[in-house]
Chains A and B, each alone.
Chain A
Amino acid sequence: MAKKLITVSVNGKSEEKAVEPRTLLIHFLREELNLTGAHIGCETSHCGACTVDIDGRSVKSCTHLAVQCDGSEVLTVEGLASKGVLHAVQEGFYKEHGLQCGFCTPGMLMRAYRFLQENPNPSEEEIRMGMSGNLCRCTGYQNIVKAVQYAAKKLQETATA
């Protein structure tokens, strides 16, 4: 199949690759760039394990073509921590036991990262709604809610410090 050249910024690094037009973003990230943090749980946009951030929006990369990202900025879980320091959402999930098997976690983190920029001071109900595109089979969400609350608090403290 004829390939198309795309240029994508992934975690701040410019990547120029020739991809088949039918290549899904999740496969491009996982197989071309070896960024295996985002996972495939359903291939139908239901579970959210593949969630990444594209140009400031949460996107389920299992139903998004790599060619749609030409010229875009993509952030994945691998790009969340900076200079060895965990992002507040990563710290929150760790401290509040917001993960068990870890399979949904990269998608959860990327959604929490974007959600807290959309709504920096959410109520519990807003967190549950804001995270409802991401399924978890292990935690029952209660500690995920706490993890997002932890991150919200920490981000606010950092912003006002």
Chain B
Amino acid sequence: MNAPVQTAEAREIALAGMGVSRLRKEDARFIQGKGNYVDDIKMPGMLHMDIVRSPLAHARIKKINKEAALAIPGVHAVLTADDLKPLKLHWMPTLAGDVAAVLADEKVHYQMQEVAIVIADDRYIAADAVEAVEVEYEELPVVTDPYAALQPDAPVIREDLAGKTSGAHGPREHHNHIFTWDAGDKAAADAAFANAPVTVSQHMYYPRVHPCPLETCGCVASFDPVRGDLTTYITSQAPHVVRTVVSLLSGIPESKVRIVSPDIGGGFGNKVGVYPGYVCAIVASIVLGRPVKWVEDRVENISTTAFARDYHMDGELAATPDGKITALRVNVVADHGAFDACADPTKFPAGMFHIVSGSYDIPAAHCSVKGVYTNKAPGGVAYRCSFRVTEAVYLVERMVDVLAQKLGMDKAEIRAKNFIKKEQFPYTSAFGFEYDSGDYHTALKKVLDAVDYPALRAEQAAKRADPNSPTLMGIGLVTFTEVVGAGPSKMCDILGVGMFDSCEIRIHPTGSAIARMGTITQGQGHQTTYAQIIATELGIPSEVIQVEEGDTSTAPYGLGTYGSRSTPVAGAAIALAARKIHAKARKIAAHMLEVNENDLDWEVDRFKVKGDDSKFKTMADVAWQAYHQPPAGMEPGLEAVHYYDPPNFTFPFGIYLCVVDIDRATGETKIRRFYALDDCGTRINPMIIEGQIHGGLTEGFAVAMGQQMPFDAQGNLMGNTLMDYFLPTAVETPKWETDHTVTPSPHHPIGAKGVAESPHVGSIPTFTSAVVDAFAHLGVTHMDMPHNAFRVWKQLKASGVNL
């Protein structure tokens, strides 16, 4: 039976496919308290683990006394590095080719490092037992500054690396040196600088910050001693990678390891790594033969799980007198903490930092990044960005402003002058990236027109001329390009596994479908948007398409969700898996309609015989046939798997403009207006895109205006609670205006580029650009973040304009 006749338009609406602001499928459970996060999981006989941590940043462990803790009723075990040694689990490999201590082996390298674990009947008893474990330390000299760490007489942080003159990324020059990584052409850049009529340079520090998702990290590990298999529910953005790591570490075959990322309460890069707590909970479960839960608290989360940034950067631009940039040089000292646990593709220890030439056609460029050990927690993850792209965009956008100031040019004009032109795409940058598509000039004009840029500049000029103005007005402008969608396997791997992603789609006999991917949503709404891609590709209503992710026993292998890679990589896998099904469905439809395949047209949800609208078969008709009576010789069923290895990255871009008013008495910065235009290529669900942009802008606002992780000379982290670490509330958060252009990616099956990280990457330098702009007429060229009231007030004092 065919469905009642409906217009193609009506049927298209019924699909709720790509381009529709479809309400979210995942919301029903979240608004009724029925989410299933790691800490919601309970298993029979489950025990609770807690961690004894070091109060000192650098110290030798003299003695650990477990007796008092073990004497507490309800305590099952206290384990230290000595207990893990026979299992060879006291150290573990990091994603960056280094090793990290699981439990401190003879010495601690940073404050709050894991020293021992306790396992008890409940979390209260476990907390009591942590207090009862006695650890004797001998203090060692502490170094928290990476420049000081490179001095010849600096304390040796990594005694385990003694005598190792090379690491995973080449030669080591010093006992606290990890790697030096270069990109671009140094000789060409140096030559351009030697002859340049105009050069500018600027030092800037991008502070250490923390992604701080609202849900902390944790897991429930359950080893079944009878079956010999291990199931672990975990807060992971990359469950398949965790499965591979756990199998390699434990020796349990990968087929007997099941990793499940259930609902995840935000990730933002914090949940990419494999942390000691996870490994310890798994070991404890194996040792005790019972399920073990570990969930860190907020202080542990900020203090020990992966931080982001901590880049000390020196940028230089060479240019002609009329503002054409001829060369870029960048030198970075990167503070990686005590273990190199950055989450980057293996070959790129500074991630995609070499996107640092930005949206500009710069003929010669070179960058060099030096990684350094300090007595701080390890990490270096991408906090809502592709690998180190936030640092790169910040650097180049700041440098272009500095150059504009030196030349007395407008910051919009200098950008337009140096943009890669629409007709230059695909464009190969001096660092070797092949930018897929872009139209920066059109987007810039749209933003400048929308905010009436000349009027803003006129207002600013009037304010500057008025000595009694209570505020300083600043206008920030950033025109950024991101590189996301890691990545092509020929360039990108993690632990040797190529950074492809995957999708499996099964169409059921009655025309509904289930699809599984190697990614994992943490708020991005994959269950909604992925179904929309399939709906458009296959003509099945998105409402009856079930999307599942995160269970390694059911989902195909994938590298997970971070670096805006879900849509560029898994999204492409979805489209191509669907197209395999579509090709088979066409054959079945041709058989059913007794015509040649070539005599069929596809329209929304059905194959029609050319020239006869009354003869058609819908995808649901085809699905039934595929299971009921497939054509002779054809395999029954209607399903497909696709592993997508992207040919290139995607390059979303945006133009952001911000207007601030700084109170000359208090230094408080009011964000008067923030206008964000994003181009992420093809748009799958505009509502979700806008939500992602609001969130990214807000996280960018937090970083620029308040977040930092300061350390004192003893290595104490001076802000590891939500009292000290800035997470903006609804009151401080500005109102966002969003806009878009659409420049599809030519190499992506549906033209989508990825979006959720652009607003974080792009907004941070926009705030800095605006705050510095407020002082530009006073000769200020740069101010380091965070731009909190105290720091801005100090600049008001220094510039002599405070009231």
- A: residues with CB less than 8 A from B are 20, 22-23, 27, 30-31, 34-44, 46-47, 49, 76-78, 80-81, 86, 90, 93-95, 97, 99-106, 109, 127-129, 131-145
Given the contacts A129-B731, A140-B736, A100 and B722 also touching, CB distance less than 8 Å = no
**How many B residues are at the interface, by size bracket?**
35 or more
Contacting pair B31 A90 (CB below 8 A):
yes
Give 8 new A-B contacts, CB below 8 A, not counting A102-B27, A138-B695: A86-B32, A94-B24, A99-B24, A100-B266, A100-B525, A102-B29, A103-B266, A139-B691
Contacting pair B124 A128 (CB below 8 A):
no
B793 at the interface (CB under 8 A from A): no
Which residues of chain B (662-715) have a CB below 8 Å from chain A? Answer: 687-688, 690-692, 694-699
Contacting pair A49 B694 (CB below 8 A):
no
A107 closest partner in B (C-beta): B214
A126 to B721 alpha-carbon distance, docked (Å): 27
A134 to B728 alpha-carbon distance, docked (Å): 10
Q: What's the nearest-Cβ distance from chain A to residue B241, in Å? A: 20
The 15 sampled A-B contact pairs (Cβ below 8 Å) are A36-B37, A36-B40, A39-B214, A41-B215, A44-B298, A47-B298, A80-B32, A90-B32, A93-B27, A97-B23, A97-B691, A101-B214, A132-B729, A138-B214, A142-B735
Q: What residues of A have a CB within 8 angstroms of the CB of B266 in the complex?
A: 100-101, 103, 137-138
Contacting pair A47 B23 (CB below 8 A):
no
Contacting pair A94 B31 (CB below 8 A):
yes
Contacting pair B123 A27 (CB below 8 A):
yes
A95 to B721 alpha-carbon distance, docked (Å): 33
A37 to B688 alpha-carbon distance, docked (Å): 23
Q: What residues of B have a CB within 8 angstroms of the CB of A78 in the complex?
A: 32-33
Q: Pick the contact of B694: A31, A106, A140 (CB < 8 A).
A: A140
Contacting pair A144 B730 (CB below 8 A):
yes
Contacting pair B733 A140 (CB below 8 A):
yes
Contacting pair A105 B39 (CB below 8 A):
no
Contacting pair B736 A142 (CB below 8 A):
yes
Q: What residues of A have a CB within 8 angstroms of the CB of B524 in the complex?
A: 100
Contacting pair B699 A137 (CB below 8 A):
yes
A147 to B273 alpha-carbon distance, docked (Å): 34
Q: What residues of B have a CB within 8 angstroms of the CB of A40 in the complex?
A: 39, 295
B522 at the interface (CB under 8 A from A): yes
B267 closest partner in A (C-beta): A101
Q: What's the nearest-Cβ distance from chain B to residue A44, in Å? A: 6
B212 closest partner in A (C-beta): A137
Contacting pair A137 B268 (CB below 8 A):
yes
> Which 10 residue pairs across A and B have the least CB separation, nearest first?
A37-B33, A103-B265, A102-B30, A101-B523, A140-B694, A100-B523, A140-B698, A46-B722, A77-B33, A36-B40
Q: Pick the contact of A46: B27, B525, B696, B723 (CB < 8 A).
A: B723
Q: What residues of A have a CB within 8 angstroms of the CB of B268 in the complex?
A: 137
A105 to B721 alpha-carbon distance, docked (Å): 21
Give the most central of B29, B33, B35, B727: most A CB within 10 Å. Answer: B33
A22 to B124 alpha-carbon distance, docked (Å): 9
A39 to B35 alpha-carbon distance, docked (Å): 10
Contacting pair A94 B23 (CB below 8 A):
yes
Give the most central of B214, B264, B690: most A CB within 10 Å. Answer: B214
A96 to B790 alpha-carbon distance, docked (Å): 36
Q: Pick the contact of A103: B28, B215, B730, B736 (CB < 8 A).
A: B215
Which residues of chain B (712-748) have a CB below 8 Å from chain A? Answer: 721-723, 727, 729-731, 733, 735-736
A53 to B683 alpha-carbon distance, docked (Å): 40
A70 to B214 alpha-carbon distance, docked (Å): 30
A131 to B732 alpha-carbon distance, docked (Å): 12
B227 at the interface (CB under 8 A from A): no
Contacting pair B33 A35 (CB below 8 A):
yes
A114 to B388 alpha-carbon distance, docked (Å): 42
Contacting pair B30 A99 (CB below 8 A):
yes
A101 closest partner in B (C-beta): B523
Q: What's the nearest-Cβ distance from chain B to residue A87, in Å? A: 9
Contacting pair A101 B215 (CB below 8 A):
yes
A155 to B626 alpha-carbon distance, docked (Å): 50
B32 closest partner in A (C-beta): A81
Q: What residues of B have a CB within 8 angstroms of the CB of A77 in the complex?
A: 31-33
Contacting pair A135 B722 (CB below 8 A):
yes
Q: What's the nearest-Cβ distance from chain A to residue B35, in Å? A: 5
Contacting pair B687 A101 (CB below 8 A):
no
A44 to B523 alpha-carbon distance, docked (Å): 24
Contacting pair B23 A102 (CB below 8 A):
no
A20 to B122 alpha-carbon distance, docked (Å): 12
Contacting pair B215 A39 (CB below 8 A):
yes
B34 at the interface (CB under 8 A from A): yes
Given the contacts A36-B40, A94-B23, A104 and B214 also touching, CB distance less than 8 Å = yes
Q: What's the nearest-Cβ distance from chain B to residue A149, in Å? A: 13
Q: What's the nearest-Cβ distance from chain A to residue B615, in Å? A: 41
B729 closest partner in A (C-beta): A132
Contacting pair B722 A49 (CB below 8 A):
no
Q: What residues of B have a CB within 8 angstroms of the CB of A94 in the complex?
A: 23-24, 27-28, 31
Contacting pair B695 A140 (CB below 8 A):
yes
Q: What residues of A have a CB within 8 angstroms of the CB of B31 in the complex?
A: 77, 86, 90, 93-94, 99, 102, 105, 109
Q: What residues of B have a CB within 8 angstroms of the CB of A141 in the complex?
A: 694, 698, 729-730, 733
B410 at the interface (CB under 8 A from A): no
B661 at the interface (CB under 8 A from A): no
Q: What residues of B have a CB within 8 angstroms of the CB of A47 in the complex?
A: 214, 298, 722, 727
Contacting pair A132 B731 (CB below 8 A):
yes
B26 at the interface (CB under 8 A from A): yes
Q: What residues of A have a CB within 8 angstroms of the CB of B729 in the complex?
A: 128, 131-135, 141
Q: Pick the contact of B214: A128, A129, A136 (CB < 8 A).
A: A136
B67 at the interface (CB under 8 A from A): no
A49 to B297 alpha-carbon distance, docked (Å): 14
Q: What's the nearest-Cβ distance from chain B to residue A75, in Å? A: 11
Q: What's the nearest-Cβ distance from chain B to residue A146, in Å? A: 11
B213 at the interface (CB under 8 A from A): yes
Q: What residues of A have a CB within 8 angstroms of the CB of B698 in the complex?
A: 139-141
B725 closest partner in A (C-beta): A46
A140 to B34 alpha-carbon distance, docked (Å): 23
A8 to B266 alpha-carbon distance, docked (Å): 32
Which residues of chain B (31-88) have a CB below 8 Å from chain A? Answer: 31-35, 37, 39-40, 42
A100 closest partner in B (C-beta): B523
Q: What residues of B have a CB within 8 angstroms of the CB of A23 in the complex?
A: 124
Q: What residues of B have a CB within 8 angstroms of the CB of A38 in the complex?
A: 33
Contacting pair B727 A135 (CB below 8 A):
yes
Q: What residues of B have a CB within 8 angstroms of the CB of A143 in the complex?
A: 691, 694
A95 to B28 alpha-carbon distance, docked (Å): 11
A49 closest partner in B (C-beta): B214
Q: What residues of B have a CB within 8 angstroms of the CB of A39 in the complex?
A: 37, 39, 214-215, 265
Given the contacts A47-B214, A100-B695, A103-B214, A138 and B723 also touching, CB distance less than 8 Å = no
Contacting pair A101 B736 (CB below 8 A):
no
B105 at the interface (CB under 8 A from A): no
Contacting pair A102 B35 (CB below 8 A):
yes
Q: What residues of B have a CB within 8 angstroms of the CB of A142 in the complex?
A: 694, 733, 735-736
A36 to B263 alpha-carbon distance, docked (Å): 13
